[in-house]
Chain A
Protein backbone atom coordinates (compact mmCIF):
# COMPACT_ATOMS: atom_id res chain seq x y z
CA UNK A 1 0.00 0.00 0.00
CA UNK A 2 1.29 3.39 -1.01
CA UNK A 3 0.93 5.50 2.11
CA UNK A 4 1.65 8.74 0.26
CA UNK A 5 -1.68 8.27 -1.58
CA UNK A 6 -3.77 8.44 1.60
CA UNK A 7 -5.76 11.63 2.05
CA UNK A 8 -4.13 14.15 4.36
CA UNK A 9 -5.56 14.57 7.81
CA UNK A 10 -5.28 18.06 9.25
CA UNK A 11 -4.08 18.07 12.82
CA UNK A 12 -3.90 20.96 15.25
CA UNK A 13 -6.70 22.81 16.97
CA UNK A 14 -9.90 23.46 15.09
CA UNK A 15 -10.61 27.13 14.41
CA UNK A 16 -12.68 28.59 17.26
CA UNK A 17 -14.62 30.59 14.67
CA UNK A 18 -15.68 27.53 12.67
CA UNK A 19 -19.14 27.25 14.18
CA UNK A 20 -19.67 30.98 13.90
CA UNK A 21 -19.12 31.28 10.17
CA UNK A 22 -21.75 33.33 8.34
CA UNK A 23 -21.79 33.88 4.61
CA UNK A 24 -20.15 37.10 3.50
CA UNK A 25 -22.37 40.01 2.44
CA UNK A 26 -23.23 39.96 -1.21
CA UNK A 27 -24.61 42.91 -3.16
CA UNK A 28 -27.03 40.48 -4.84
CA UNK A 29 -28.94 40.30 -1.55
CA UNK A 30 -29.76 43.98 -1.95
CA UNK A 31 -30.21 44.17 -5.68
CA UNK A 32 -32.16 41.01 -6.27
CA UNK A 33 -33.74 41.10 -9.72
CA UNK A 34 -37.27 39.66 -9.84
CA UNK A 35 -40.35 39.83 -12.09
CA UNK A 36 -40.99 43.45 -11.15
CA UNK A 37 -37.50 45.00 -11.27
CA UNK A 38 -35.62 46.75 -14.03
CA UNK A 39 -32.32 48.54 -14.44
CA UNK A 40 -32.67 51.93 -16.11
CA UNK A 41 -30.17 54.57 -17.16
CA UNK A 42 -30.37 58.23 -16.20
CA UNK A 43 -30.19 60.45 -19.25
CA UNK A 44 -29.74 64.13 -18.31
CA UNK A 45 -29.54 66.26 -15.19
CA UNK A 46 -33.11 66.43 -13.89
CA UNK A 47 -32.14 65.09 -10.44
CA UNK A 48 -28.73 66.69 -10.03
CA UNK A 49 -29.63 68.24 -6.64
CA UNK A 50 -30.26 64.74 -5.34
CA UNK A 51 -26.73 63.80 -6.51
CA UNK A 52 -28.02 61.67 -9.38
CA UNK A 53 -25.93 62.26 -12.48
CA UNK A 54 -26.23 61.64 -16.17
CA UNK A 55 -25.28 57.99 -16.85
CA UNK A 56 -26.17 56.66 -13.39
CA UNK A 57 -28.03 53.37 -13.19
CA UNK A 58 -31.33 53.04 -11.37
CA UNK A 59 -32.58 49.81 -9.86
CA UNK A 60 -36.36 50.12 -9.83
CA UNK A 61 -39.40 48.02 -8.99
CA UNK A 62 -42.91 48.15 -10.38
CA UNK A 63 -44.22 46.28 -7.36
CA UNK A 64 -44.39 49.13 -4.80
CA UNK A 65 -47.00 51.83 -4.39
CA UNK A 66 -45.17 55.16 -4.21
CA UNK A 67 -45.53 57.37 -1.18
CA UNK A 68 -44.61 61.00 -0.44
CA UNK A 69 -40.91 61.58 -0.90
CA UNK A 70 -40.22 58.54 -3.06
CA UNK A 71 -38.02 58.86 -6.08
CA UNK A 72 -40.11 57.54 -8.93
CA UNK A 73 -39.98 56.90 -12.65
CA UNK A 74 -43.04 58.63 -14.07
CA UNK A 75 -44.44 57.81 -17.46
CA UNK A 76 -45.45 61.11 -19.04
CA UNK A 77 -46.56 61.77 -22.60
CA UNK A 78 -43.03 62.90 -23.52
CA UNK A 79 -41.28 59.89 -22.02
CA UNK A 80 -40.08 58.36 -18.77
CA UNK A 81 -39.01 60.94 -16.19
CA UNK A 82 -37.12 60.63 -12.93
CA UNK A 83 -38.83 62.77 -10.29
CA UNK A 84 -39.52 63.02 -6.60
CA UNK A 85 -43.15 62.37 -5.75
CA UNK A 86 -44.80 64.80 -3.37
CA UNK A 87 -48.25 64.22 -2.01
CA UNK A 88 -50.21 67.13 -0.53
CA UNK A 89 -53.73 66.18 0.44
CA UNK A 90 -55.05 64.69 -2.77
CA UNK A 91 -52.56 66.48 -5.01
CA UNK A 92 -49.58 64.82 -6.62
CA UNK A 93 -46.58 66.90 -7.58
CA UNK A 94 -43.59 65.63 -9.55
CA UNK A 95 -40.60 67.65 -8.43
CA UNK A 96 -37.30 67.70 -10.31
CA UNK A 97 -33.94 68.38 -8.68
CA UNK A 98 -32.75 70.98 -11.15
CA UNK A 99 -33.80 74.63 -11.68
CA UNK A 100 -34.43 74.07 -15.41
CA UNK A 101 -37.27 71.63 -14.74
CA UNK A 102 -40.56 73.04 -13.46
CA UNK A 103 -42.56 70.90 -11.03
CA UNK A 104 -45.51 69.08 -12.60
CA UNK A 105 -48.88 69.12 -10.89
CA UNK A 106 -50.71 65.90 -11.77
CA UNK A 107 -54.34 66.60 -12.63
CA UNK A 108 -57.07 64.43 -14.10
CA UNK A 109 -55.94 65.59 -17.55
CA UNK A 110 -52.26 64.68 -17.06
CA UNK A 111 -51.18 61.58 -18.99
CA UNK A 112 -49.29 60.20 -16.00
CA UNK A 113 -48.57 56.78 -14.54
CA UNK A 114 -46.05 55.74 -11.89
CA UNK A 115 -43.92 53.39 -14.00
CA UNK A 116 -41.67 52.28 -11.15
CA UNK A 117 -40.27 53.23 -7.75
CA UNK A 118 -36.49 53.68 -7.40
CA UNK A 119 -34.81 51.32 -4.92
CA UNK A 120 -31.12 52.06 -5.55
CA UNK A 121 -28.98 54.43 -7.57
CA UNK A 122 -25.72 53.00 -8.87
CA UNK A 123 -23.16 55.54 -9.85
CA UNK A 124 -20.15 54.42 -11.88
CA UNK A 125 -17.15 56.42 -10.66
CA UNK A 126 -14.38 55.16 -12.88
CA UNK A 127 -13.71 55.25 -16.63
CA UNK A 128 -13.71 51.44 -16.65
CA UNK A 129 -17.12 51.07 -15.03
CA UNK A 130 -18.52 53.94 -17.08
CA UNK A 131 -17.39 52.34 -20.33
CA UNK A 132 -19.09 49.05 -19.40
CA UNK A 133 -22.38 50.90 -19.23
CA UNK A 134 -21.84 53.12 -22.27
CA UNK A 135 -24.19 52.83 -25.21
CA UNK A 136 -22.57 50.90 -28.07
CA UNK A 137 -21.81 53.16 -31.05
CA UNK A 138 -24.00 52.46 -34.05
CA UNK A 139 -21.92 51.30 -37.02
Chain B
Protein backbone atom coordinates (compact mmCIF):
# COMPACT_ATOMS: atom_id res chain seq x y z
CA UNK B 1 0.00 0.00 0.00
CA UNK B 2 1.37 3.42 -0.85
CA UNK B 3 1.65 5.97 1.90
CA UNK B 4 -0.33 9.18 1.78
CA UNK B 5 1.11 12.00 3.81
CA UNK B 6 -0.48 15.24 4.94
CA UNK B 7 1.61 18.19 5.99
CA UNK B 8 -0.14 20.66 8.30
CA UNK B 9 1.24 24.11 8.83
CA UNK B 10 -0.18 26.88 11.05
CA UNK B 11 -0.49 30.27 9.39
CA UNK B 12 1.54 32.96 11.25
CA UNK B 13 1.31 30.75 14.32
CA UNK B 14 2.49 33.08 17.12
CA UNK B 15 0.37 35.96 15.80
CA UNK B 16 -2.65 33.68 15.42
CA UNK B 17 -2.28 32.57 19.06
CA UNK B 18 -2.16 36.17 20.30
CA UNK B 19 -5.30 36.79 18.24
CA UNK B 20 -7.17 33.97 19.94
CA UNK B 21 -6.53 35.48 23.37
CA UNK B 22 -6.90 39.15 22.51
CA UNK B 23 -10.27 40.22 21.14
CA UNK B 24 -10.25 43.17 18.77
CA UNK B 25 -7.19 42.04 16.79
CA UNK B 26 -9.26 40.79 13.83
CA UNK B 27 -7.96 42.52 10.73
CA UNK B 28 -5.30 44.43 12.72
CA UNK B 29 -1.61 43.85 11.93
CA UNK B 30 0.13 41.79 14.64
CA UNK B 31 3.84 41.17 15.24
CA UNK B 32 5.59 38.99 17.81
CA UNK B 33 9.11 39.85 18.98
CA UNK B 34 12.14 37.65 19.66
CA UNK B 35 13.10 36.50 23.16
CA UNK B 36 14.61 39.82 24.20
CA UNK B 37 12.11 42.01 22.30
CA UNK B 38 14.96 42.67 19.86
CA UNK B 39 13.43 41.90 16.49
CA UNK B 40 10.32 40.55 14.79
CA UNK B 41 10.04 36.75 14.76
CA UNK B 42 6.50 36.49 13.42
CA UNK B 43 4.17 38.80 11.56
CA UNK B 44 0.57 38.46 10.45
CA UNK B 45 -0.46 38.80 6.80
CA UNK B 46 -1.67 42.34 7.52
CA UNK B 47 1.74 43.23 8.96
CA UNK B 48 3.52 41.72 5.94
CA UNK B 49 1.29 43.77 3.65
CA UNK B 50 2.56 47.03 5.17
CA UNK B 51 6.19 46.04 4.83
CA UNK B 52 7.09 44.26 8.09
CA UNK B 53 9.45 41.35 7.49
CA UNK B 54 10.73 38.64 9.80
CA UNK B 55 14.02 39.51 11.46
CA UNK B 56 13.67 43.29 11.27
CA UNK B 57 14.79 45.02 14.54
CA UNK B 58 11.99 46.55 16.61
CA UNK B 59 13.49 50.08 16.48
CA UNK B 60 13.32 50.03 12.67
CA UNK B 61 9.52 49.61 12.65
CA UNK B 62 8.61 52.09 15.43
CA UNK B 63 7.05 54.47 12.89
CA UNK B 64 5.08 51.74 11.14
CA UNK B 65 3.74 50.61 14.52
CA UNK B 66 2.42 54.11 15.22
CA UNK B 67 1.05 54.75 11.74
CA UNK B 68 -0.72 51.42 11.31
CA UNK B 69 -1.64 50.67 14.91
CA UNK B 70 0.28 47.38 14.85
CA UNK B 71 -0.33 45.15 17.86
CA UNK B 72 3.08 44.19 19.32
CA UNK B 73 3.71 41.19 21.61
CA UNK B 74 6.77 39.67 23.29
CA UNK B 75 7.13 35.97 22.54
CA UNK B 76 5.18 33.96 25.10
CA UNK B 77 6.39 30.40 24.55
CA UNK B 78 4.39 29.04 27.50
CA UNK B 79 1.14 29.80 25.75
CA UNK B 80 2.38 28.99 22.22
CA UNK B 81 3.47 25.56 23.39
CA UNK B 82 0.09 24.96 25.06
CA UNK B 83 -1.84 25.81 21.89
CA UNK B 84 0.61 23.73 19.83
CA UNK B 85 -0.01 20.72 22.11
CA UNK B 86 -3.77 21.12 21.58
CA UNK B 87 -3.35 21.23 17.78
CA UNK B 88 -0.97 18.25 17.75
CA UNK B 89 -3.43 16.21 19.84
CA UNK B 90 -6.24 17.01 17.38
CA UNK B 91 -4.06 16.14 14.38
CA UNK B 92 -3.25 12.73 15.84
CA UNK B 93 -6.99 11.92 15.73
CA UNK B 94 -6.91 12.44 11.94
CA UNK B 95 -3.90 10.16 11.41
CA UNK B 96 -3.95 6.45 10.61
CA UNK B 97 -3.27 4.70 13.94
CA UNK B 98 -2.34 8.08 15.39
CA UNK B 99 0.81 8.18 13.25
CA UNK B 100 1.86 11.80 13.52
CA UNK B 101 5.26 13.48 13.39
CA UNK B 102 5.58 16.76 15.27
CA UNK B 103 7.98 18.58 12.97
CA UNK B 104 8.09 21.88 14.85
CA UNK B 105 5.93 23.98 17.18
CA UNK B 106 3.60 24.81 14.27
CA UNK B 107 4.08 22.01 11.73
CA UNK B 108 3.27 18.32 11.61
CA UNK B 109 3.10 15.40 9.19
CA UNK B 110 0.39 12.77 9.52
CA UNK B 111 -0.16 9.45 7.80
CA UNK B 112 -3.48 9.56 5.92
CA UNK B 113 -3.12 6.32 3.94
CA UNK B 114 -6.54 5.22 5.24
CA UNK B 115 -8.26 7.94 3.19
CA UNK B 116 -9.26 7.34 -0.44
CA UNK B 117 -7.28 9.70 -2.70
CA UNK B 118 -10.45 11.27 -4.15
CA UNK B 119 -11.54 12.15 -0.58
CA UNK B 120 -8.35 13.95 0.39
CA UNK B 121 -9.49 17.49 -0.43
CA UNK B 122 -12.60 17.03 1.72
CA UNK B 123 -10.50 15.50 4.49
CA UNK B 124 -8.21 18.50 4.38
CA UNK B 125 -11.15 20.87 4.72
CA UNK B 126 -12.42 18.85 7.69
CA UNK B 127 -9.02 19.09 9.41
CA UNK B 128 -8.90 22.85 8.85
CA UNK B 129 -12.43 23.35 10.18
CA UNK B 130 -11.85 21.16 13.25
CA UNK B 131 -8.57 22.82 14.26
CA UNK B 132 -10.05 26.27 13.70
CA UNK B 133 -13.12 25.51 15.78
CA UNK B 134 -11.32 23.94 18.73
CA UNK B 135 -8.22 26.14 18.88
CA UNK B 136 -9.04 29.22 16.80
CA UNK B 137 -5.86 28.71 14.76
CA UNK B 138 -6.02 28.71 10.94
CA UNK B 139 -3.96 25.93 9.35
CA UNK B 140 -2.97 24.91 5.83
CA UNK B 141 -3.00 21.31 4.63
CA UNK B 142 -0.97 19.74 1.83
CA UNK B 143 -1.19 16.14 0.60
CA UNK B 144 1.51 14.16 -1.15
CA UNK B 145 3.00 10.71 -1.61
CA UNK B 146 6.07 11.74 0.39
CA UNK B 147 6.88 14.28 3.09
CA UNK B 148 8.67 16.43 0.49
CA UNK B 149 5.60 16.42 -1.77
CA UNK B 150 3.26 17.20 1.14
CA UNK B 151 5.43 20.13 2.17
CA UNK B 152 5.45 21.46 -1.40
CA UNK B 153 1.66 21.21 -1.36
CA UNK B 154 1.33 23.52 1.68
CA UNK B 155 3.84 25.82 0.01
CA UNK B 156 1.39 26.05 -2.90
CA UNK B 157 -1.47 26.78 -0.46
CA UNK B 158 0.39 29.91 0.70
CA UNK B 159 0.28 31.24 -2.89
CA UNK B 160 -3.50 31.23 -2.84
CA UNK B 161 -4.45 33.21 0.29
CA UNK B 162 -8.19 33.34 -0.48
CA UNK B 163 -8.42 29.65 -1.40
CA UNK B 164 -9.69 26.64 0.54
CA UNK B 165 -6.36 26.14 2.31
CA UNK B 166 -5.77 22.67 0.87
CA UNK B 167 -3.61 21.43 -2.01
CA UNK B 168 -3.51 17.79 -3.02
CA UNK B 169 -0.64 16.66 -5.22
CA UNK B 170 -1.75 13.00 -5.04
CA UNK B 171 -4.76 13.21 -7.33
CA UNK B 172 -3.21 15.71 -9.74
CA UNK B 173 -2.63 14.54 -13.31
CA UNK B 174 1.08 14.29 -14.24
CA UNK B 175 0.62 17.36 -16.46
CA UNK B 176 -0.94 19.41 -13.66
CA UNK B 177 1.76 18.27 -11.23
CA UNK B 178 4.49 19.26 -13.69
CA UNK B 179 2.89 22.68 -14.18
CA UNK B 180 2.65 23.20 -10.41
CA UNK B 181 6.27 22.12 -9.82
CA UNK B 182 7.42 24.45 -12.57
CA UNK B 183 6.24 27.45 -10.52
CA UNK B 184 8.41 26.53 -7.50
CA UNK B 185 12.10 27.34 -7.33
CA UNK B 186 14.49 24.59 -6.14
CA UNK B 187 15.41 26.80 -3.16
CA UNK B 188 11.85 26.39 -1.84
CA UNK B 189 12.02 22.60 -1.72
CA UNK B 190 12.28 21.02 1.72
CA UNK B 191 15.88 20.06 2.65
CA UNK B 192 17.35 22.08 -0.22
CA UNK B 193 19.61 24.64 1.42
CA UNK B 194 21.39 27.66 -0.03
CA UNK B 195 24.52 25.71 -1.00
CA UNK B 196 22.55 22.91 -2.61
CA UNK B 197 20.36 25.25 -4.62
CA UNK B 198 23.47 27.09 -5.85
CA UNK B 199 24.97 23.77 -7.00
CA UNK B 200 21.73 22.95 -8.79
CA UNK B 201 21.27 26.34 -10.38
CA UNK B 202 24.78 26.21 -11.90
CA UNK B 203 23.67 23.01 -13.61
CA UNK B 204 20.54 24.72 -14.97
CA UNK B 205 18.21 23.10 -12.48
CA UNK B 206 16.08 26.08 -11.54
CA UNK B 207 12.57 24.84 -10.72
CA UNK B 208 11.19 21.93 -8.72
CA UNK B 209 10.11 20.46 -12.07
CA UNK B 210 13.73 20.50 -13.32
CA UNK B 211 14.80 18.60 -10.22
CA UNK B 212 11.85 16.22 -10.49
CA UNK B 213 12.88 15.41 -14.09
CA UNK B 214 16.60 15.09 -13.32
CA UNK B 215 18.33 11.72 -13.35
CA UNK B 216 18.71 10.68 -9.68
CA UNK B 217 22.04 8.96 -10.42
CA UNK B 218 23.45 12.11 -11.94
CA UNK B 219 22.19 14.14 -8.94
CA UNK B 220 23.84 11.65 -6.63
CA UNK B 221 27.24 12.40 -8.19
CA UNK B 222 27.31 15.91 -6.74
CA UNK B 223 24.61 15.90 -4.03
CA UNK B 224 25.20 12.39 -2.72
CA UNK B 225 22.45 10.19 -1.41
CA UNK B 226 20.68 13.14 0.26
CA UNK B 227 20.14 14.82 -3.10
CA UNK B 228 19.08 11.58 -4.77
CA UNK B 229 16.49 11.11 -2.05
CA UNK B 230 15.02 14.57 -2.70
CA UNK B 231 14.50 13.66 -6.38
CA UNK B 232 12.85 10.36 -5.48
CA UNK B 233 10.63 12.09 -2.89
CA UNK B 234 9.61 14.69 -5.48
CA UNK B 235 8.60 11.84 -7.78
CA UNK B 236 6.41 10.38 -5.06
CA UNK B 237 8.64 7.66 -3.62
CA UNK B 238 8.65 8.12 0.16
CA UNK B 239 12.26 7.84 1.36
CA UNK B 240 11.95 9.82 4.59
CA UNK B 241 10.07 7.99 7.31
CA UNK B 242 7.48 9.58 9.55
CA UNK B 243 9.29 10.22 12.85
CA UNK B 244 6.40 9.28 15.10
CA UNK B 245 8.47 9.26 18.29
CA UNK B 246 10.43 12.48 18.58
CA UNK B 247 14.17 12.11 18.11
CA UNK B 248 16.16 13.46 21.04
CA UNK B 249 18.09 16.57 20.13
CA UNK B 250 21.76 16.07 19.32
CA UNK B 251 22.74 19.43 20.80
CA UNK B 252 21.12 22.03 23.02
CA UNK B 253 21.78 25.72 22.79
CA UNK B 254 20.60 28.66 24.90
CA UNK B 255 21.75 32.12 23.83
CA UNK B 256 20.23 35.48 24.73
CA UNK B 257 20.94 39.16 24.32
CA UNK B 258 21.18 41.22 27.50
CA UNK B 259 18.70 43.97 28.32
CA UNK B 260 21.60 46.37 28.87
CA UNK B 261 25.38 46.42 28.43
CA UNK B 262 27.17 44.01 30.75
CA UNK B 263 30.78 44.70 31.73
CA UNK B 264 31.60 42.60 34.79
CA UNK B 265 32.76 39.01 34.74
CA UNK B 266 30.42 38.21 37.64
CA UNK B 267 27.36 39.14 35.63
CA UNK B 268 28.57 37.23 32.58
CA UNK B 269 29.10 34.22 34.83
CA UNK B 270 25.55 34.55 36.21
CA UNK B 271 24.13 34.76 32.70
CA UNK B 272 26.10 31.77 31.39
CA UNK B 273 25.23 29.66 34.45
CA UNK B 274 21.58 30.64 34.02
CA UNK B 275 21.63 29.62 30.35
CA UNK B 276 23.34 26.35 31.30
CA UNK B 277 20.55 25.72 33.81
CA UNK B 278 17.95 26.31 31.07
CA UNK B 279 19.87 24.06 28.68
CA UNK B 280 20.11 21.23 31.22
CA UNK B 281 16.36 21.56 31.84
CA UNK B 282 15.89 20.76 28.15
CA UNK B 283 18.20 17.77 28.56
CA UNK B 284 16.25 16.47 31.57
CA UNK B 285 13.01 16.96 29.68
CA UNK B 286 14.19 14.58 26.93
CA UNK B 287 15.87 12.27 29.50
CA UNK B 288 19.39 12.84 28.28
CA UNK B 289 22.77 14.07 29.48
CA UNK B 290 25.61 15.98 27.85
CA UNK B 291 29.36 16.17 28.29
CA UNK B 292 30.64 18.70 25.77
CA UNK B 293 30.26 22.35 26.86
CA UNK B 294 30.89 25.45 24.82
CA UNK B 295 30.31 29.09 25.80
CA UNK B 296 30.50 32.34 23.87
CA UNK B 297 30.31 36.04 24.68
CA UNK B 298 30.25 39.04 22.37
CA UNK B 299 29.81 42.82 22.27
CA UNK B 300 27.12 44.66 20.27
CA UNK B 301 28.08 44.67 16.57
CA UNK B 302 25.42 47.35 15.87
CA UNK B 303 27.14 49.78 18.23
CA UNK B 304 29.88 51.01 15.89
CA UNK B 305 31.33 53.52 18.35
CA UNK B 306 32.21 50.88 20.98
CA UNK B 307 35.27 48.59 20.84
CA UNK B 308 34.33 45.09 19.66
CA UNK B 309 35.24 41.72 21.13
CA UNK B 310 33.89 38.21 20.70
CA UNK B 311 35.23 34.87 21.80
CA UNK B 312 34.22 31.33 22.62
CA UNK B 313 35.71 28.40 24.51
CA UNK B 314 34.89 24.72 24.94
CA UNK B 315 35.65 21.84 27.22
CA UNK B 316 34.61 18.27 27.88
CA UNK B 317 33.38 17.37 31.37
CA UNK B 318 34.69 14.26 33.11
CA UNK B 319 31.29 12.59 32.92
CA UNK B 320 27.90 13.03 31.26
CA UNK B 321 25.46 15.13 33.28
CA UNK B 322 22.25 17.14 33.23
CA UNK B 323 22.78 18.57 36.75
CA UNK B 324 23.43 22.34 36.43
CA UNK B 325 26.13 22.65 39.15
CA UNK B 326 28.23 20.05 37.31
CA UNK B 327 28.59 22.67 34.57
CA UNK B 328 29.11 25.81 36.69
CA UNK B 329 32.83 25.36 37.60
CA UNK B 330 33.68 24.55 33.97
CA UNK B 331 31.78 27.63 32.79
CA UNK B 332 33.68 29.88 35.18
CA UNK B 333 36.99 28.37 34.11
CA UNK B 334 36.22 28.89 30.41
CA UNK B 335 34.93 32.39 31.08
CA UNK B 336 38.16 33.19 32.95
CA UNK B 337 40.07 32.28 29.78
CA UNK B 338 38.08 34.44 27.36
CA UNK B 339 36.78 37.34 29.48
CA UNK B 340 38.45 40.70 28.83
CA UNK B 341 37.70 43.86 30.83
CA UNK B 342 36.74 47.14 29.19
CA UNK B 343 34.10 45.85 26.82
CA UNK B 344 30.32 46.23 26.76
CA UNK B 345 29.02 42.71 26.32
CA UNK B 346 25.64 42.34 24.64
CA UNK B 347 25.09 38.62 24.21
CA UNK B 348 26.19 35.28 25.60
CA UNK B 349 25.37 31.68 24.90
CA UNK B 350 25.83 28.11 26.09
CA UNK B 351 26.00 25.09 23.82
CA UNK B 352 25.87 21.49 25.07
CA UNK B 353 26.48 18.40 22.96
CA UNK B 354 27.82 14.83 23.03
CA UNK B 355 24.32 13.93 24.19
CA UNK B 356 23.39 10.56 25.56
CA UNK B 357 20.26 9.02 27.10
CA UNK B 358 20.13 9.22 30.93
CA UNK B 359 19.76 5.45 31.11
CA UNK B 360 23.41 5.10 30.11
CA UNK B 361 25.62 6.27 32.95
CA UNK B 362 29.26 5.51 32.99
CA UNK B 363 31.84 5.95 35.69
CA UNK B 364 34.91 7.95 34.73
CA UNK B 365 38.52 6.87 35.07
CA UNK B 366 39.34 9.19 37.95
CA UNK B 367 36.53 8.22 40.26
CA UNK B 368 34.87 11.65 40.31
CA UNK B 369 31.58 10.02 39.42
CA UNK B 370 29.68 8.38 42.26
CA UNK B 371 26.47 6.44 41.79
CA UNK B 372 25.14 7.60 45.15
CA UNK B 373 25.89 11.26 44.39
CA UNK B 374 24.34 10.82 40.96
CA UNK B 375 21.11 9.52 42.48
CA UNK B 376 20.97 12.45 44.93
CA UNK B 377 21.42 14.95 42.10
CA UNK B 378 18.76 13.23 40.04
CA UNK B 379 16.23 13.41 42.87
CA UNK B 380 17.03 17.03 43.64
CA UNK B 381 16.48 18.08 40.02
CA UNK B 382 13.30 16.02 39.84
CA UNK B 383 11.96 17.98 42.82
CA UNK B 384 13.07 21.34 41.41
CA UNK B 385 11.59 20.62 37.98
CA UNK B 386 8.31 19.57 39.59
CA UNK B 387 8.08 22.79 41.61
CA UNK B 388 8.93 24.98 38.63
CA UNK B 389 6.41 23.22 36.44
CA UNK B 390 3.72 23.68 39.03
CA UNK B 391 4.14 27.25 40.24
CA UNK B 392 5.98 28.77 37.32
CA UNK B 393 9.35 28.51 35.63
CA UNK B 394 12.22 29.90 37.64
CA UNK B 395 10.62 29.63 41.09
CA UNK B 396 13.58 27.62 42.40
CA UNK B 397 17.10 28.07 41.04
CA UNK B 398 20.81 27.87 41.90
CA UNK B 399 22.53 30.91 43.37
CA UNK B 400 25.13 30.84 40.56
CA UNK B 401 22.32 31.85 38.18
CA UNK B 402 22.06 35.21 39.96
CA UNK B 403 19.28 36.64 42.09
CA UNK B 404 18.11 39.91 40.56
CA UNK B 405 19.35 39.04 37.06
CA UNK B 406 18.76 42.62 36.02
CA UNK B 407 20.97 42.01 32.95
CA UNK B 408 18.11 40.00 31.52
CA UNK B 409 16.28 41.55 28.63
CA UNK B 410 12.80 42.50 29.65
CA UNK B 411 9.77 41.40 27.74
CA UNK B 412 7.70 44.57 27.72
CA UNK B 413 4.78 43.27 25.69
CA UNK B 414 4.24 39.86 27.27
CA UNK B 415 0.79 38.22 27.37
CA UNK B 416 -0.16 36.31 30.50
CA UNK B 417 0.19 32.54 30.92
CA UNK B 418 -3.53 31.92 30.46
CA UNK B 419 -3.41 28.13 30.56
CA UNK B 420 -0.82 27.27 33.18
CA UNK B 421 -1.28 29.72 36.10
CA UNK B 422 -4.49 30.20 38.12
CA UNK B 423 -3.54 33.81 38.80
CA UNK B 424 -3.18 34.63 35.10
CA UNK B 425 -6.45 33.41 33.58
CA UNK B 426 -8.01 35.22 30.65
CA UNK B 427 -10.70 37.71 31.77
CA UNK B 428 -14.30 37.77 30.58
CA UNK B 429 -16.42 40.82 31.24
Contact = CB atoms under 8 A, between A and B. Distances in A.
Contacts of A80: 23, 426-429
A133 to B, nearest CB: 5
Given A43-B427, A43-B429, A80-B428, A62 B24 contact: no
Contacts of A135: 423-424
Nearest to A133: B422
Contacts of B426: 38, 40-41, 80
Nearest to A79: B23
B419 interface: yes
Interface string A28-45: 000000011011111110
A111 B423 contact: no
A77 B24 contact: yes
A31 to B, nearest CB: 13
Interface string B78-122: 000000001101100000000000000000000000000000000
Interface in A11-34: none
A57 interface: yes
Q: Which of B23, B422, B429 has the most CB of A within 10 A?
A: B429
A136 B428 CA distance: 18
B133 interface: yes
Interface string B119-145: 000000000000001111000000000
A81 interface: yes
A63 B429 contact: no
Contact of B26 (A41, A111, A115): A111
A41 to B, nearest CB: 4
Contact of B425 (A41, A75, A76): A41
Contacts of A38: 418-419, 426
Contacts of B425: 39-41, 57, 133
Contacts of B135: 35-36, 62
Contact of A40 (B23, B134, B136, B428): B428
B134 A43 contact: no
Contacts, number: 72
B134 A63 contact: yes
A81 B422 contact: no
Contacts of B428: 40-43, 58, 73, 80-82
A45 to B, nearest CB: 9
Interface string A116-139: 000000000000000011111000
Nearest to B136: A62
Nearest to A118: B428
Contacts of A134: 423
Q: Which of A40, A78, A80 has the most CB of B within 10 A?
A: A80
B39 to A, nearest CB: 26
Contacts of A132: 422-423
B418 to A, nearest CB: 7
B228 to A, nearest CB: 40
A119 to B, nearest CB: 14
Interface in B258-316: none
Given A76-B23, A80-B23, A133-B422, A36 B427 contact: no
B241 to A, nearest CB: 26
A58 B425 CA distance: 10
Contacts of B418: 38
Interface in A41-65: 41-44, 46, 57-58, 62-63
Interface string A71-101: 0010111111110000000000000000000
A41 B422 CA distance: 9
Contact of A62 (B23, B133, B422, B429): B133
A43 B135 CA distance: 23
B423 A35 contact: no
Nearest to A111: B26
A81 B134 contact: no
Contacts of B424: 135-136
A57 B418 CA distance: 13
A63 B131 CA distance: 10
Nearest to A136: B423
A35 B89 contact: yes
21 contacts: A36-B134, A38-B418, A40-B425, A40-B428, A41-B425, A41-B427, A41-B428, A62-B136, A63-B134, A73-B428, A76-B23, A79-B24, A80-B426, A80-B429, A81-B429, A82-B428, A132-B423, A133-B423, A134-B423, A135-B423, A136-B424
- Give the 4 A-B residue pairs with the shortest CB-CB distance, closest first: A43-B427, A41-B425, A35-B86, A36-B134
